[in-house]
Chain A
Amino acid sequence: MRKLIDIPANTASYQADKKSKKHESAIRQVGGGARYVDDIPEPANLMHGAIGISQCAAGKITHIDLTKVKESEGVIDVILAEDVPGHIDIAPVFDGDPVLAHHEIKFHGQAVFAVLADSVTNARKAALKALIEVDEATPVLTVAEAKDKHSTVRPPHYMSMGNVDEALARAEFVVSDSVSVCGQEHLYLEGQVSMAIPEEEDRMFVYTSSQHPSEVQKLVAEVLDTSLNKVVVDMRRMGGGFGGKETQAAQWACIAALLASRNQCAVKVRLPRQQDMIVTGKRHPFENSYTMGFSAEGVIAGVSHSINGNCGHSPDLSDAIVDRAMFHADNCYFLNNCDIAGHRLKTNQVSHTAYRGFGGPQGMIMAEAVMDKIARTTGLDPLTVRKRNLYSNENGSVTPYGMDIEHHLVADLIAQLEQSSDYWQRRKAIAEFNKTSPVIKKGLALTPIKFGISFTAKHLNQAGALLHIYTDGSIQINHGGTEMGQGLHTKIAQVVAHEFGVDMDVIEVTSTRTDKVPNTSPTAASSGSDLNGKAAQNACLIVKQRLAEFYVLEVLKQAADVIENVTFEQGHIVLDDNKMPFVELVQQAYFGRVSLSASGFYKTPKIHYNRETGKGRPFFYFAYGASVSEVSVDTLTGEHKVDRVDILHDVGASLNPAIDIGQIEGGFIQGMGWLTTEELKWDDSGKLMSNNLATYKIPAIGDTPRIFNVDLYDRANEEDTIYHSKAVGEPPFMLAMSVWCAIKDAISSIADYGIDPKLDTPATPERVFNAIQQMKGQQQ
């Protein structure tokens, strides 16, 4: 560069740091200009891929006749597993996920072949024309069948504390029960999509809608039998992820790359919605049961939990998911004595996968089931029981996995919410209402959450960022995290703006690319801003140090010992009475041959877990929250409505309150959908019946409670996270347990709160109706 741009006259454009910055893409999103993979201008030679899928759930493939597929209009190429030059298995951790079915069919809807054609429609039509002959086997379709047949994808894992047998023997009450915990379709609004563009020789460039570009890069390299440095993956934004694009996006990228490589043309693979719902994994359904002992005061003496995840046909991420269910079976409660067994059952279903909460919700709901059961047995109010069992210095503060709870926030948080939501007054009013209302019954419940923050696979707790400052003072930041709507890029831009004391407008967060920051972790486990925020901050600190040194030594000609007093604020570098506009500093530094680029790195401290002993500190810290839900239930039909919700949630010192509240509200409603309207149904042959939006119902706008009060709990994180904030992606999802408990509360009013209703999930009108009928039966 010979001549730099002119510095604008007014450099004092820095505005006060308002924290609730709008989403960095908001203007483009509301105008239709935000590009998703399918919106990227298409290369001239773009062709379209589609997959052909199995029509049975289990068996050996005996013959595949592709004649009619190849003859179909516009078809260019068809590939089978045998045509893959490199690895066929694209599993993320443990083997078991072939990119295309290899000899064997493992679930109904498994991709068997891929076809390339000159249009989306021609490819999809051709894919329907294969004859796939299978020597069918009897599929394993339920957790119970899998348990009977010892069909598992991974060995079980156990956690234990104290002596449960003794505790139960001495307890005043001992009860057992089970809960069928449903799975969930992610239903990201943007379906799975990838576009692969062959570059020189054997290099490949891939656009994908993925939470894990580095894994897509690795798997594309492996299926193509090439090295990672020849594959570049670019990911600007997803139209929703929720865990459904952590491992599930890779297969379509690999298929696009395989077809692109063979045919030396650009290839896009975009799944139609119904196929997307059939061929991608879901939240794991669980079948959990417990036996527990407790006192007349409602305090747990001990509990034995059996946690059974339906993992589908392969391990995928199920080992860590069932672990996380086990880590959360205590929720906020001290269990005194406990055994927690976690089983990973193998069935002939699509391989179930990550979904917001990652098994945590399916474990945590057991803690709330236990609390309700104690309340109905002892006659105490469920909130009283919950409060009596909280982790505390008096009750006990050690989790079943040996981690000491250092900061007891939740008692105070509940106390505040109890007051702000007027819990006890409403409890009384509802009891009165129910006495005079024979058909409509109201229910109320307050449930807390405690969610452990960190990947339980320790090595994933690392992140990188790449910072560039250009000579006009504008800044580019790239990091390993992906933007799926959660506002990660906005928060990262805020971190960089804050570090340099400049306006958000000069920060550009670029698409996540494997050639900018390598070897990244998935954007998952709520860790996006914790990890990447710190990595970005570290990159800033490196360049700030260089700029401060340059300013003190070269511009001010002062001694090195004052460098540490330099600050960056309001668009300037400042030392005592000296200050210089940031742009001018940058230009002078450039001429002074100072590097204006740096990469930052971060790894989470303190964490460890020994899987042999089931003890350790798997989490850096916990995020807390609580919610109160009030519902009305129609006892004639089982229909129900959420009338009011109050939430108090802990995000530490919020990086962006508007974004955090958006995560809390959105997480809550998604959790409410999981527990009420969203019902996955498979038929007896293992075929998914709820395979489109007409048969699978996520919450619509009318489901948002009319009264929906959401507040942030005002307390900074004790741990040294980015500006002492806390992760927020997953934890609020579990706040929706209060809806399930409130429905149970309404049902139990029929029996004067003396019987705990048997209500499996999702609590559809039909299940609620059946629970009511069962309760009426028990009463008689």
Chain B
Amino acid sequence: MIRFLLNEKLVTIKDAPADLTVLNYLRERLKMTGTKEGCASGDCGACTVVLAELSGLEASGLHYRAINSCVTFLSALHGKQLITIEHLASGKNQLHPVQQAMIDHHGSQCGFCTPGFVMSTFALYHSADSVSRDDVVHSLSGNLCRCTGYRPIIDAALDSCNQEAKDQFITNEKHTVEQLSKLAGQTDAGTQGILMPTTSKEMAEALSQHPDSRLVAGSTDLALEVTQQLSSINTLISVAAMTEMKKVSVNEHELSIGAACPINDISAIFLQYFPSLSEIVERFASLPIRNQATLGGNIANASPIGDMPPVLIALQAKVILDKGDNQRTVPLSDFFTGYKQTVLEQGEWVHSIVIPLSSANTQIRAYKISKRNEDDISAVCAVFSLTTENNKVTAIHSGFGGVAATPTRCDQLRDLVGRNWADADTMALGQQALIDVFTPIDDVRASAEYRKNMLGNLWHRFWLETHTQESMIPVRVDSVLEGAAHA
């Protein structure tokens, strides 16, 4: 069975369709209509709810996580507290500080997106005692508003989230933690249609007994098959209880990340070792998606436009594939075999990702071109990793998305090894190689020609950013945000 707290109430679900989304569970089954459906694809945030869960080993409290209920299956609720908009006010005239600030700043117009914004802001309210405008933007990047232009919403979030967090959720925290702790020890997790194995052995068994089942982690992509293509999934095997797939470890050579780790949970440690990649991590979908979507999922679904595979290919990452009785290691660049095709065999799954740490004289940059900065899919993603010694290129690795049927790399750039990186000819040679190697296609996001041009120009940008230490010219629109005109 699946057991969770719906606001304060313990709910036990013994039987429900495996592919029932949390949004439809709330709206259709419970008639709790405060949570809205705007797109049913995780793109607008009108359906945002918050999951509170035990913080983990060292911390004793609760961790609050905003998620898109429209692309979340019930299995994700197990052992957690699901908080919905109806539960925020503590009494008839006692609005939550986040709600009150939205009113005071005139943050709602048509009001349809408002419950989602309030829930995302509520999660932020519980995440830090002081937040900046950038924090607000990152936290609300998955919530679309068509009426206000966002300014009053930003003001409302800054106002409420910079107050000391003091609400009934904090007052009740001890009690909630106790209740969730009891659920955590429960052994009969899952239902007939939702399997929740806890070990590799159980996972392998589940996969062999249910060959038609689907493996689910964050569900942010899989759920679209249900909500958009209207297909049914009768059996889901969830990785939610696979603790070994949620481990992160690091030694002096490599960083190992369990495939079931949500992107947001590993971003801090990832950026600790690869600080220059913060932009690509922050621009990976939206925070509610990063709160659910896992690194393993982003790799295993083998989309040509996923954001992490180009990064990981450039970092020469390897994936550990598990089958229960044996594991094998495959370089990520060999993992993808075609459009949405991988080397994964029947009964095999991505267990973890191993990323070699880079040396001090390696410079890494990841660039993403899209129509919108926040929560958009790359027209082109280009990642470069360059190692030099006294300006001489000693190694060069790359990863690309959006320019071929799979995430890929450009081996021809290795021909630059031995050349002087400060030399403009080196840049030009690499640029020509990139333009010659790829034959991207036209689609809704960009033309083939533009993609080709971007391969060359993002390389040019990389060179501008890395070939000299002196008086670097601005090469990013963000870098001159408060530029010359406001000096």
Interface contact A442-B109, CB-CB below 8 Å: no
Interface contact A670-B230, CB-CB below 8 Å: no
The answer for the CA separation of A694 and B485 in the assembled complex, in Å, is 35
Chain B 360-373, CB within 8 Å of chain A: the 1/0 string?
00000000011111
Interface contact A641-B481, CB-CB below 8 Å: yes
Chain B residues near A640 (CB, 8 Å)? 477
* B41 in the interface (beta carbon within 8 A): yes
What is the interface residue range for chain A against chain B?
35 or more
Residues facing A in B439-487 (CB within 8 A) are 443-447, 450, 453-454, 457-458, 460-461, 464, 473-487
Contact of B147 among A429, A485, A692, A693 (CB under 8 A): A485
Chain A residues near B84 (CB, 8 Å)? 32
Residues facing B in A486-507 (CB within 8 A) are 486-487
Known: A32-B35, A238-B110. A695 touches B444 (CB 8 A): yes
Interface contact A440-B44, CB-CB below 8 Å: no
Known: A700-B375, A703-B372. A189 touches B113 (CB 8 A): yes
Candidate in A41, A120, A190 with the most chain B CB atoms within 10 angstroms: A190
Interface contact A632-B109, CB-CB below 8 Å: no
What is the interface residue range for chain B against chain A?
35 or more
* B140 in the interface (beta carbon within 8 A): yes
The answer for the CA separation of A242 and B473 in the assembled complex, in Å, is 43
The answer for the CA separation of A39 and B37 in the assembled complex, in Å, is 11
Chain B 369-382, CB within 8 Å of chain A: the 1/0 string?
11111111101000
Interface contact A240-B112, CB-CB below 8 Å: yes
Interface contact B475-A634, CB-CB below 8 Å: yes
Interface contact A669-B86, CB-CB below 8 Å: no
Interface contact B148-A666, CB-CB below 8 Å: yes
Of chain A, the residue at the smallest CB distance from B461 is A636
Interface contact A30-B444, CB-CB below 8 Å: no
Chain A 219-243, CB within 8 Å of chain B: the 1/0 string?
0000000000000000001111110
Chain A residues near B370 (CB, 8 Å)? 697, 765
Of chain B, the residue at the smallest CB distance from A693 is B43
Interface contact B149-A29, CB-CB below 8 Å: no
Chain B residues near A242 (CB, 8 Å)? 146
Known: A190-B38, A769-B450. A32 touches B115 (CB 8 A): yes
Chain A 15-33, CB within 8 Å of chain B: the 1/0 string?
0000010110111111111
* B31 in the interface (beta carbon within 8 A): yes
* A617 in the interface (beta carbon within 8 A): no
Chain A residues near B484 (CB, 8 Å)? 429-430, 432-433, 437, 442
Of chain B, the residue at the smallest CB distance from A187 is B146
* B144 in the interface (beta carbon within 8 A): yes
Chain A residues near B41 (CB, 8 Å)? 273, 692-694
Chain A residues near B338 (CB, 8 Å)? none
Of chain A, the residue at the smallest CB distance from B119 is A32
User: Total A-B residue pairs with C-beta atoms closer than 8 Å?
Assistant: 283
| Stretch among A6-14, A519-527, A657-665 lining the B interface | A657-665
The answer for the CA separation of A294 and B31 in the assembled complex, in Å, is 65
Chain B 101-115, CB within 8 Å of chain A: the 1/0 string?
011101011111111
Shortest A377–chain B CB gap in Å is 25
The answer for the CA separation of A440 and B464 in the assembled complex, in Å, is 12
Contact of B373 among A33, A665, A703 (CB under 8 A): A703
* B143 in the interface (beta carbon within 8 A): yes
Chain B residues near A1 (CB, 8 Å)? none
Interface contact B374-A701, CB-CB below 8 Å: yes
Interface contact A35-B33, CB-CB below 8 Å: yes
Candidate in B112, B113, B140, B374 with the most chain A CB atoms within 10 angstroms: B112
Contact of B110 among A31, A240, A272, A668 (CB under 8 A): A240
Residues facing B in A252-302 (CB within 8 A) are 272-274
| Stretch among A121-129, A362-370, A464-472 lining the B interface | A121-129
* A199 in the interface (beta carbon within 8 A): no
Interface contact A27-B103, CB-CB below 8 Å: yes
**B interface with A by C-beta (< 8 Å):** 27-28, 31, 33-41, 43-44, 46, 84-86, 88-89, 95, 99-100, 102-104, 106, 108-115, 118, 133, 136-137, 140-141, 143-154, 228, 230, 369-377, 379, 443-447, 450, 453-454, 457-458, 460-461, 464, 473-487
**A interface with B by C-beta (< 8 Å):** 20, 22-23, 25-36, 38-39, 41, 120-121, 124-125, 128, 186-191, 237-242, 272-274, 426, 429-430, 432-433, 436-440, 442, 444, 484-487, 630, 632-634, 636-637, 639-641, 643-644, 658-659, 661-662, 665-670, 677, 679, 681, 689-690, 692-695, 697-704, 706, 708, 764-766, 769-770
